[in-house]
Amino acid sequence: MIALVVVAAPVPAACQDAAGGGGSPTADVLRWRPEIAVAAQRFGIPIAWIEAVIAVESAGLNEVKGRPITSPKGAMGLMQLMPATYTEMRNQYGLGSDPYLPLDNILAGTAYLRLNYDRFGYPGLFAAYNAGPDRYLRSLAGARLPGETRDYLGRIMRQTAQNPIAPDTIFVDLAGSDISPEKPTSPSVLVPLIEP
């Protein structure tokens, strides 16, 4: 069992609408819905989860003052991926070399969400996304998550509460193959099935 502790922290002005009160995704997030839908289908992650991460990480802004959005720690683009994480996802899934291109950034971020979901489930995937899988593993063994990650989880949970997806929802490809984070080779339909 995972206990979430929410610690209040200031939210940057550019992100206040998206990350602050926990409302529906803003227009800045929703403008990326076509790219989000592609990533959701490819990696079997709910659109609401991807939108929540984008809302909290970048407020849906790809640029600030005409420059690509980059955090002080070096995280890049809409889903605020660290350079090593983007490179790993790019190499594994055949993405482009520019981490600021919205589609590639969203695909890489969603692939990383999927890897963390497969490893840690819900809501652990979000803690691992923010703090890193190793730090999250240490927290499962009793170490305290950083305050930033605890705050992040609170903001993500407020975002996903607007569009809840049951944690035990699984996705099945009706074309007959298992969901794989590979490019789809044929059109398929993903249908959520809730375990009884």
171 beta partners: 192
H or E element that contains 193? strand 190-194
Angle subtended by helix axes 47-58 and 147-161, to nearest 10: 130
| Closest by CA position to 49, among listed 132, 146, 162, 133 | 162
Instruction: Quickly tell me which residue has 């979000």 as its tokens.
Output: 126
H or E element that contains 158? helix 147-161
User: Which residue type, as a one-letter code, is found at position 122?
Assistant: Y
* Active-site residue list: 57
